[in-house]
Amino acid sequence: MLLSKRIEKLIQHLSMHMMARGWMIAAAESCSGGMLAHCLTQISGSSNWFEFSVVSYSNFAKHRFLGVSQDLLDHEGAVSAPCAKQMAEGLMVRENILGIAITGFAGPLGGSEQCPVGTVYLAWKIPQKNCIVERMCFTGERQEIAKQAVYYALRGAVLSSFRMQDYQRMHYFFALTLEDEILQKQCQQLELPL
């Protein structure tokens, strides 16, 4: 299944889950440059479950609009787990927000030996739960890296929602249809009664 088709299926699934819960998605994007928001708003009726996006490309924007600590930016850098976490937490302007943050090096410039081009930190914050942060290392051209980041951001949103027990079965059966072995294994580890 093509990555773009997987993204579309993830969004369709998430949109139903958001409306069922009365939640709204908010996004904080850096290296994906608004691609996540663009994908989310391609579905008619997305205003029912998509709240807003902040494309915080510069450190100033991360600090000013998302509340990322300037000290953190100076010492940890914008491409780091703590930065992704604070970006996601900065989206929580209401109690019903599912916050998704993406920050990384899409290339071809940037990166380092410890944090090469393709390194992306993703964070998810759901109501009344701690933020989850994950580091991924993608390959390919700039747009390919951004697209992979969007896919994993959406996939992570589904997995984050698994922590809300009353919707686990719905997510589990969805995961079986997506042709994503890692997602399926993570869902199966929950040992849901079928």
Q: How far apart are CA 51 and CA 98, in angstroms?
A: 10
Convert the pLDDT of each residue in 136-164 to its tens digit: 999 999 999 999 999 999 999 988 776 65
Sorted by where each starts, the structural domains of the chain and their CATH numbers stand as 3-166 (3.90.950.20)
Predicted confidence band of residue 128 (pLDDT cuts 50, 70, 90): confident
| Burial environment of residue 186 by CB neighbours within 10 A (0 to 12, 13 to 18, 19 or more) | middle
CA dihedral 81, 156, 67, 137 (to 10 degrees): 40
The reply to whether omega before 108 is within 30° of 0 (cis) is yes
Q: Is 69 left (phi over 0), alpha (psi -120 to 50) or beta?
A: beta
For residue 147, CA distances in Å to 8, 32, 82, 106, 133 come to 12, 7, 22, 10, 18
- What is the reported pTM? 0.88
Task: Please say whether the beta carbons of 14 and 42 come within 8 A.
Answer: no
Q: How far apart are CA 71 and CA 84, in angstroms?
A: 14
Mean pLDDT for the chain?
A: 89
Indicate if the pLDDT at residue 45 is higher than 60: yes
Convert the pLDDT of each residue in 70-102 to its tens digit: 999 999 999 999 999 999 999 999 999 999 999
Q: Per DSSP, which regions of 126-176 are E strands?
A: 132-137
